[in-house]
Chains A and B, each alone.
Chain A
Amino acid sequence: MLKILKYSFFDLMRSRWSYVYFAFYLLLGIVLLFLNNDLSKAVITLMNIIIVLVPLIGTIFGVMYYYNSKEFTELLLAQPLKRSSIFLGQYLGVSISLSMSLVLGLGIPFALYGLFNSSAIWDFSLLIITGGFLTFIFTALAFNIALSNENKIKGFGYAILVWLLLAIIYDGVFLMSLILFEDYPLDKLSLVGTMLNPIDLSRTLILLKLDISALLGYTGAVFKQFFGTSFGLIVSFSMLIIWVSLPVMRIVYKSKRKDF
Chain B
Amino acid sequence: MNKVVTVFLILFFVSFFSSAQTITVCKDCNITTLKEAIKNATDFDTIIVKQGTYKEHNITIDKPLTILGKNYPVIDGEEQGEIITIVSDHVTVDGLFLKNVGNSYTEDFAAIRVIKSKFFEIRNLVIEKLFFGIYIEKSKFGKIINNKIIGEAVEEYNSGNGIHLWYSHDLDIENNHVQNMRDGIYFEFADNSTIKNNVSTNNLRYGLHFMFSNNDVYEGNTFENNGAGVAVMFSKQIKMINNVFKKNWGTASYGLLLKEINDAEIKGNTFEKNTIGINIEGSNRITYVNNNFSNNGWAVKVRGACYSNSFISNNFLYNSFDVSYNSKINDNLFDNNYWSNYTGYDLDKNGIGDVPYRPVKLFSYIVNRTPETIILLRSLFIDIIDFSEKVSPVFTPDKLLDNNPSIKKIAW
Contact = CB atoms under 8 A, between A and B. Distances in A.
Chain A interface, DSSP helix/strand/loop, else mixed:
helix
Contacts of A219: 251, 371
Given A207-B378, A213-B296, A218-B251, A178 B273 contact: no
A217 B376 contact: no
Interface stretch (B50-58, B87-95, B380-388): B380-388
Contacts of A47: 378
B370 A214 contact: no
A190 B378 contact: no
Given A41-B340, A186-B372, A216 B250 contact: yes
B381 A171 contact: yes
B269 interface: no
B371 A191 contact: no
B375 A216 contact: no
B377 interface: yes
B378 A175 contact: no
B297 A216 contact: yes
A44 interface: yes
Contacts of A186: 370, 372
Interface in A162-182: 167-169, 171-172, 174-175, 178-179, 182
Interface in A37-57: 40-41, 44, 47-48, 51-52
B321 interface: yes
A204 interface: yes
A213 B251 contact: no
> How big is the B interface, by class?
20 to 34
B186 interface: no
B221 interface: no
A212 to B, nearest CB: 8
Contacts of A179: 366, 369-370, 373
Nearest to B252: A219
Given A178-B370, A190-B372, A168 B321 contact: no
A168 B375 contact: no
A48 B373 contact: no
B375 to A, nearest CB: 5
Interface string A206-248: 1100111111111110011000000000000000000000000
B316 interface: no
A172 B381 contact: yes
Contacts of B350: none
B320 interface: yes
Nearest to A214: B297
A175 B372 contact: no
Which of B275, B298, B340, B378 has the most A CB atoms < 10 Å from its CB? Answer: B378
Contacts of B379: 171, 200, 203
Contact of B297 (A40, A190, A217): A217
Contacts of A59: none
B307 interface: no
Contact of B378 (A48, A172, A191): A48
Interface in B198-256: 249-251, 253
B318 interface: yes
Given A41-B318, A168-B380, A175-B366, A213 B372 contact: no
A146 B372 CA distance: 37
A190 B366 CA distance: 15
A194 interface: yes
A207 B377 contact: yes
B377 A211 contact: yes
A178 B274 CA distance: 26
B374 interface: yes
Interface in B264-295: 273-276, 295
Which of A175, A203, A210 has the most B CB atoms < 10 Å from its CB? Answer: A175
A169 B379 CA distance: 11
A48 to B, nearest CB: 7
Contact of A213 (B297, B366, B369, B383): B297
Contact of A182 (B321, B369, B378): B369
Interface string B293-327: 00111100000000000000000001011000000
Given A168-B384, A211-B320, A175 B251 contact: no
B297 A167 contact: no
Contacts of A191: 375
Contacts of A224: 251
B376 A48 contact: no
Given A174-B376, A179-B366, A213 B295 contact: yes
Interface of A: 40-41, 44, 47-48, 51-52, 167-169, 171-172, 174-175, 178-179, 182, 186-187, 189-191, 193-194, 200, 203-204, 206-207, 210-220, 223-224
Interface of B: 249-251, 253, 273-276, 295-298, 318, 320-321, 340, 366, 369-384
The 7 closest A-B pairs by CB, nearest first: A214-B297, A214-B320, A171-B381, A186-B372, A213-B297, A182-B370, A219-B251
Given A211-B378, A213-B296, A217-B275, 14 more contacts: A40-B318, A41-B318, A44-B318, A48-B378, A48-B380, A167-B380, A178-B376, A182-B370, A182-B372, A186-B370, A204-B375, A215-B297, A216-B251, A223-B372
16 contacts: A171-B376, A175-B373, A175-B376, A178-B372, A189-B372, A190-B372, A191-B375, A206-B378, A211-B378, A213-B273, A213-B274, A213-B296, A214-B298, A214-B320, A214-B321, A215-B377
